[in-house]
Amino acid sequence: MIKLTVNGKTQEVDVDPDTPLLWVIREWVGLTGTKYGCGIAQCGACTVHIDGVATRSCSIPVSAVTGNQITTIEGLAQNGTPHPVQKAWVALDVPQCGYCQSGMIMAVAALLKDKPKPTDADIDAAITNICRCGTYQQVREAIHAAASA
- Which helix (H) or strand (E) is 144 found in, with range? helix 136-147
Q: Which stretch binds other proteins (CB under 8 A): 49-57, 63-71, 86-94, 111-119?
A: 86-94
Answer whether 146's CB lies under 8 Å from 119's CB.
Answer: no
Whole-angstrom Cα distance, residue 53 to residue 100?
18
Size of the site for other proteins (CB under 8 A): 58
Reduced to 3 states, what is the DSSP secondary structure of residue 75? helix
Q: Give the 3-state secondary structure of 77-119.
A: CECCECCHHHHHHHHCCCCCCCCCHHHHHHHHHHHHHHCCCCC
Q: Which of 2, 127, 145, 146 binds other proteins (CB under 8 A)?
A: 127
- 36 class by beta-carbon count within 10 Å (0-12 exposed, 13-18 middle, 19+ buried): middle
CB of 148 to other proteins, least distance (A): 19
- Which residues between 22 and 81 bind other proteins (CB under 8 A)? 23, 26-28, 30-40, 42-43, 45, 72-74, 76-77
In the beta sheet, which residues pair with residue 71? 49
Q: 19 or 68: whose CB is closer to other proteins?
A: 19
Which one of 12, 16, 51, 114 is in contact with other proteins (CB under 8 A)?
Answer: 16
Residue in 6, 110, 111, 131 binding other proteins, rule: CB under 8 A? 131
Shortest distance (Å) from residue 125 CB to other proteins: 7
Instruction: List contacts with other proteins (CB under 8 A).
Output: 16, 19-20, 23, 26-28, 30-40, 42-43, 45, 72-74, 76-77, 82, 86, 89-90, 93-102, 105, 123-125, 127-140
